[in-house]
Structures are given as C-alpha cells and as structure tokens.
Amino acid sequence: MNHIKLIIGLGNPGQSFYYHRHSIGFRILDVLTKKHDVAWQEKSTMMIAIIQGAVGPVYLVKPSTFMNNSGAVMPFFTKKGIKPEEVLVVHDELEMPFGKVALKQGGSARGHNGLKSIIAAIGDNFNRLRVGIGRPDDKAEVPGYVLSNFTQGVKDLDALIDQSVIALEKQI
C-alpha cells in the first residue's frame, strides 16, 4: 500500500444519520481524531482534520454531502497533488460479516453509492478499509438496513470501531 495522505470516512451528514450502519466511516474517523487530539474544521463540502502520520500530514475527511455525492470532496485534494493510490476510503461493507475489517486496493463499487461517487471522481485505484456490517437475507431490505442503526451490542460495535482505528493507524 502506498503512503496514505488522505483518509475519507463515508457517511451521511447530520445527527439523525450518525448511528446508521452506512455512517460507520464517520464514527471511525471521529474516534481517530479524538485519539490524536485534533478537531474537525468545516470547509465547503467537508469536515476536515489533519493528523501527523509517520511520513507527514494526513488529511481526514467526512464529506458534508450525502453519500451519493461523496466524490465532491476530491477536486480539492486533486489540486493538492494527492493521487488516487494515496487515498484510503473507510466504508461499510455488506458483503462481509459484522465485525470483520479488511484492507483492499482498487475494485468496483459493488453497489455502494459512496464508492461509485468517488470512483466517478478519481477512478477505482484507491485503497479501502472495508468494515463488515453483514447483510439482510432479503436483497429488498438492503436500503433500509444500511440506513438503520446497528443492532449489535455497544461493546461489539466499540470493538469494531477500535479494530478499524488500529487498521488505519498502521497505514499512516
């Protein structure tokens, strides 16, 4: 994996969406910023924070657009010279069981609208931290499932978030 300069946590803006499965990327980045004692700042289409990585500063971003428009943050970072392979996107993953976390480079969106938006902006050669949320048995239930709160216990969810933060810290 290349040196990561930008980590984007996917989610939907607003407190009413914060605890949804689809917003796990926001929650993971909030824990990471708290751990590194940095604050979020509002900037047009995003919330942004900067932490010091092993090789230099790393931007942390929560798009303030809705999921389907997450790629709107990319022109700002493209102008700064950040290449797709230096980007890591943290997102919910239906195709993995709850609690599993995996790094991946490149690939398709597999129906994830946030990833589709980023792919449209910079192509598919970016890194992903896939955070398993499981999937409902009935495909028709997927939209409601990702836009609902986790049903797992707080300890299990906290462990998933902590595991994800540790995985991110190994990349920066």
Letter string b/e over residues 70-94, b meaning 16 or more CB atoms within 10 A of that residue's CB: bbbbbebbeeeebebbbbbbbbbbb
22 is catalytic: yes
Catalytic residue among 20, 22, 91, 112: 22
Q: Distance between CA atoms of 48 and 135, rounded to whole angstroms? A: 30
Q: Residue 145 CB: number of other CB atoms within 10 A?
A: 19
Active site residues: 22
